[in-house]
Amino acid sequence: MMKITLDRGSYRAGETVNASVELKLDKPVKARALVVEFACFERKKVKVTRELDEYDYARRRELGLVYTSNVTTEVVEEGARRFHQQKEFSGGEFSGGVYDVGFTLPPDAPPTSKEFGHDNKTFVWKISAKLDIPLALDVNTETEVFVEGL
């Protein structure tokens, strides 16, 4: 079992996020490393406009979809990792223990948002931990970090 515990409930831009990764395994395991990552994921809605070629336009008319124009617009969601920091505990034998890490939020860190606003963007901050075990399933966990805004 692996669990991430944060020192506080929310943070502001520029502050340090202190976390503890608690590891409890049934038996000792040889692993390459314990990797703890802190990242901000951005999702945004983008309008994509394209012109239908003759085949697409004719095919849609055959299906009974009548268009007055050969231009279509659709809204797509794109995602990207905007910020990333990583700490690694070198390989060896892991069985249990508490591993403390600290990450500093950038001074211009966007606040956590889960709903698309006026800018059609959302931001989610996460800390994830992975015990990289060769030739076996890795032990993973993650938790969200709430970054306060204006």
Segment 114-143, tens digit of pLDDT: 888 888 899 999 999 999 999 999 999 999
Average pLDDT of the residues in 14-20: 96
- The two three-digit tokens of residue 34, written as one number: 């314990």
This prediction has a pTM of 0.79
CA-nearest of 25, 26, 6 to 16 is 6
Is the pLDDT confidence value at 150 over 70?
Answer: no
- The two three-digit tokens of residue 9, written as one number: 């409930």
Give the DSSP H or E segment for 139: strand 139-145
**Do 137 and 31 meet the contact criterion of CB atoms below 8 Å apart?**
no
CATH number of 2-42+80-115+122-145: 2.60.40.640
| pLDDT value of position 146 | 96
Is the pLDDT confidence value at 1 over 70?
Answer: yes
pLDDT digits 0-9 by tens, 62-114: 888 776 677 778 888 899 999 999 999 988 899 889 999 999 999 999 999 98
Distances (CA, A) of 20 to 7, 41, 93: 8, 21, 19
pLDDT digits 0-9 by tens, 26-68: 999 999 999 999 999 999 999 888 887 888 878 878 888 776 6
| Domain range annotation of the chain | 2-42+80-115+122-145
Give the DSSP H or E segment for 58: helix 54-62
- What size, in residues, is the chain? 150
CA-nearest of 132, 144, 100, 138 to 35 is 132
Q: Which of 100 and 149 is assigned the larger pLDDT? A: 100
**Do 18 and 9 meet the contact criterion of CB atoms below 8 Å apart?**
no
| pLDDT value of position 127 | 97
